[in-house]
Structure 1
Amino acid sequence: MAQPAHPGCRDRLRHAADPAKEALRATNPPQYTEKVLALSRDPLLEEFRTRLQRHPVSADGRKSALRHLCRALTVYGIALADLTPGTLVHYANAHPGCGIAGAWPLLRDMGVLPAWVPQTLQDARIRGRQSVDDLVDRHQLRNREIRDLLVDYIRRRAVEVDYGTLDNLVRNLVRYFWKIVEEINPDQADLRLHEDIVQAWKERLLVRQDGKPRQHIDGPFLAVRAFYLDLQTWSAAEPERWGRWVAPCPIRDADLRWFHVRRRRLQERMANRTRERQPLLATLSEHVTTEWHRLRTLLDAAKQARLGEQFVVDGVTWQRAASKATARRPELLGSEPVRVINRDTGELVRLTHEQNSVFWQWAVVETLRLAGLRREELVELTHLSVRQYQRPNGEVVALLVVSPSKSDRERVIPMSAELFHVTAQIIRRHREEHGTVPVCPRYDQSERTWCEPLPYLFQRVQSGTPRALSTSGVRQIVLDAAKALIPTHPQFAEIRFAPHDFRRLFATDLVNNGLPIHIGAALLGHLDIQTTRGYVAVFDEDVIAHYTEFLDRRRAKRPSTEYRRPTDGEWSDFQEHFDKRKVELGSCGRPYGTPCAHEHACIRCPMLSINPKMLPRLDELEADLLARRQRAIDEGWRGEVEGLDLTLRFLRSKRAQAHRAAAATGSVDLGMPPRPGGRSGTGQGIGTGGFRGA
Structure 2
Amino acid sequence: MRIIQPSLEAFRSNTFLYYGPWFLTAQNDPLLEKFWAQTQAAPVNPIHHGTALFDVAVALTTQGIALADLTPSAFLHYAWECRRQGLVLGARGAGSRFPGHLAWQVLHEMEHFPSHRPATIKAALLTGRLTVEELVGRYKIRHSGVRQLLITYLERRKPELDYSTLDNLSRHLANHFWATIEHLAPDQPDLRIDGELYQRWRDRIAVRDDGKGRRDVDPILRAVRAFYSDLQAWAAAEPERWAIWVAPCPIGDADVRGYGIRKRRVKERMDDRTRQRQPLLAALLEHMETRYAHYRNLLRQASNAAGGDIITVNGNSYQRLWSRVDERRIRLGGPANIRVQDLETGKHINLTHVEDAAFWEWAIVEVLRHSGVRIEEALEFTHLSIRQYQRLNGEVIALLVVAPSKSDRERVIPMSAELFAVVAAIVRRHTTGGQTIPLLSRYDPHERTSSPPMPFLFQRKIGTRHEVISDTTVVNMLKRRCAELAHDHPGFQTTDFTPHDFRRLLATELVNSGLPIHIGATLLGHLNLQTTRGYVAVFNEDVVRHYQGFLDRRRQTRPADEYRSVTESEWLGFEEHFDQRKVELGGCARPYGTPCQHEHACLRCPMININPKMLPRLDEIETDLLARRARAEQEGWLGEIEGIDLTLTFLRQKREESQRLARIAPVNLGMPGLRPPRGVTH
TM-score scaled by structure 2?
Answer: 0.74
Q: Could you report, residue by residue, the CA deviation over 1:345-395 in whole angstroms, capped at 9, with x for unpaired residues?
A: 332222111111111111111111111101121112111211111122221
Select the structure of larger CA radius of gyration: 2
In structure 2, give the amino acid aligned to 1:176: H
Aligned to 1:350: 350
Q: Distance in 2 between matches of 1:228 and 1:434?
A: 61
Q: Distance in 2 between matches of 1:319 and 1:33?
A: 36
Tell me if the contact between 1:60 and 1:325 (Cα under 8 Å) persists in the aligned partners: no
Aligned to 2:320: 320
In structure 1, give the amino acid aligned to 2:10: A
Change (3 A) 1:254 1:381: same
In structure 2, give the amino acid aligned to 1:76: Q
Following superposition, the deviation at residue 417 of structure 1 comes to 1.4
Tell me if the contact between 1:386 and 1:400 (Cα under 8 Å) persists in the aligned partners: yes
1:26 and 2:9 equivalent?
no
Aligned to 1:404, the other structure's residue is in SS state coil
**Residues 389-468 of structure 1: matches in 2 within 5 Å?**
389-432=389-432, 435-462=435-462, 464-468=464-468
Aligned to 1:441, the other structure's residue is in SS state coil
Q: Could you report, residue by residue, the CA deviation over 1:535-559 in whole angstroms, capped at 9, with x for unpaired residues?
A: 1112579969x99xx9xxx9xxxxx
Deviates more, 1:99-108 or 1:181-190: 99-108
Following superposition, the deviation at residue 284 of structure 1 comes to 1.4
Aligned to 2:379: 379
**Residues 36-115 of structure 1: matches in 2 within 5 Å?**
36-96=23-83, 97-98=88-89, 99-115=99-115
**Residues 194-593 of structure 1: matches in 2 within 5 Å?**
194-322=194-322, 324-328=324-328, 330-331=330-331, 335-432=335-432, 435-462=435-462, 464-539=464-539
In structure 2, give the amino acid aligned to 1:20: S
Aligned to 1:250, the other structure's residue is in SS state coil
Q: Distance in 1 between matches of 2:254 and 2:105?
A: 58
Q: Could you report, residue by residue, the CA deviation over 1:611-650 in whole angstroms, capped at 9, with x for unpaired residues?
A: xxxxxxxxxxxxxxxxxxxxxxxxxxxxxxxxxxxxxxxx
Q: Could you report, residue by residue, the CA deviation over 1:88-127 in whole angstroms, capped at 9, with x for unpaired residues?
A: 1111111114442232112211222222221211111011
Q: Distance in 1 between matches of 2:35 and 2:306?
A: 32
1:190 and 2:194 equivalent?
no
Aligned to 1:27, the other structure's residue is in SS state coil
In structure 1, give the amino acid aligned to 2:175: R
> What fraction of aligned residue pairs are identical, expressed as a percent?
50
Q: Distance in 1 between matches of 2:56 and 2:412?
A: 48
Following superposition, the deviation at residue 416 of structure 1 comes to 1.2
Aligned length: 536
Following superposition, the deviation at residue 453 of structure 1 comes to 1.8
Aligned to 2:134: 134
Q: Distance in 2 between matches of 1:354 and 1:329?
A: 19
Structure 1: where are the runs of 5+ without partners? 4-15, 555-694
Aligned to 1:440, the other structure's residue is in SS state coil
Aligned to 1:118, the other structure's residue is in SS state coil
Tell me if the contact between 1:80 and 1:112 (Cα under 8 Å) persists in the aligned partners: no
Aligned to 2:567: none
Q: Distance in 2 between matches of 1:494 and 1:454?
A: 39
Change (3 A) 1:437 1:2: same
Tell me if the contact between 2:182 and 2:188 (Cα under 8 Å) persists in the aligned partners: yes
Root mean square deviation of aligned Cα: 2.7
Q: Distance in 2 between matches of 1:329 and 1:368?
A: 37
Q: Distance in 1 between matches of 2:343 and 2:115?
A: 49
Change (3 A) 1:31 1:385: closer
Change (3 A) 1:142 1:323: farther
Tell me if the contact between 2:47 and 2:332 (Cα under 8 Å) persists in the aligned partners: no
Tell me if the contact between 2:398 and 2:414 (Cα under 8 Å) persists in the aligned partners: yes
Change (3 A) 1:337 1:42: farther
In structure 1, give the amino acid aligned to 2:265: R
Tell me if the contact between 1:440 and 1:453 (Cα under 8 Å) persists in the aligned partners: yes
Q: Distance in 1 between matches of 2:408 and 2:13?
A: 57
Change (3 A) 1:175 1:101: same
Tell me if the contact between 1:59 and 1:326 (Cα under 8 Å) persists in the aligned partners: no
Q: Distance in 2 between matches of 1:412 and 1:34?
A: 54
Following superposition, the deviation at residue 81 of structure 1 comes to 2.7
In structure 1, give the amino acid aligned to 2:424: A
Q: Could you report, residue by residue, the CA deviation over 1:430-468 in whole angstroms, capped at 9, with x for unpaired residues?
A: 101671222221112221112122221112235533333
Aligned to 2:228, the other structure's residue is in SS state helix
Following superposition, the deviation at residue 300 of structure 1 comes to 1.1
Tell me if the contact between 2:397 and 2:414 (Cα under 8 Å) persists in the aligned partners: yes
Q: Distance in 2 between matches of 1:104 and 1:225?
A: 48
Q: Distance in 2 between matches of 1:516 and 1:239?
A: 51
Aligned to 1:484, the other structure's residue is in SS state helix
In structure 2, give the amino acid aligned to 1:40: Q
Tell me if the contact between 1:382 and 1:455 (Cα under 8 Å) persists in the aligned partners: yes
Q: Distance in 1 between matches of 2:429 and 2:11?
A: 42
TM-score scaled by structure 1?
Answer: 0.73
Following superposition, the deviation at residue 59 of structure 1 comes to 4.8
Aligned to 2:453, the other structure's residue is in SS state strand
Aligned to 2:607: none
Aligned to 2:674: none
Following superposition, the deviation at residue 499 of structure 1 comes to 1.3
Q: Distance in 2 between matches of 1:243 and 1:432?
A: 66
In structure 2, give the amino acid aligned to 1:213: G
Change (3 A) 1:429 1:88: same
Tell me if the contact between 2:511 and 2:517 (Cα under 8 Å) persists in the aligned partners: yes
Change (3 A) 1:462 1:334: closer
Change (3 A) 1:75 1:511: same
Following superposition, the deviation at residue 49 of structure 1 comes to 3.4
Change (3 A) 1:433 1:259: farther
Q: Could you report, residue by residue, the CA deviation over 1:487-513 in whole angstroms, capped at 9, with x for unpaired residues?
A: 333543422322111110111111232
Aligned to 2:2: 2
Q: Distance in 1 between matches of 2:475 and 2:329?
A: 39
Q: Distance in 1 between matches of 2:281 and 2:167?
A: 34
Following superposition, the deviation at residue 303 of structure 1 comes to 1.6
Aligned to 2:606: none
Change (3 A) 1:304 1:541: closer
**Residues 162-181 of structure 1: matches in 2 within 5 Å?**
162-181=162-181
Q: Distance in 2 between matches of 1:141 and 1:541?
A: 55
Change (3 A) 1:434 1:130: farther
Aligned to 1:215, the other structure's residue is in SS state coil
Change (3 A) 1:485 1:215: same
Change (3 A) 1:69 1:339: farther
Aligned to 2:161: 161
Tell me if the contact between 1:108 and 1:114 (Cα under 8 Å) persists in the aligned partners: yes
Q: Could you report, residue by residue, the CA deviation over 1:221-258 in whole angstroms, capped at 9, with x for unpaired residues?
A: 11111100111111112222111111000111111211
Deviates more, 1:39-48 or 1:345-354: 39-48
Q: Could you report, residue by residue, the CA deviation over 1:156-197 in whole angstroms, capped at 9, with x for unpaired residues?
A: 110211111111110111122112111111111100001011
Q: Could you report, residue by residue, the CA deviation over 1:107-154 in whole angstroms, capped at 9, with x for unpaired residues?
A: 211222222221211111011100001111111112121111111111
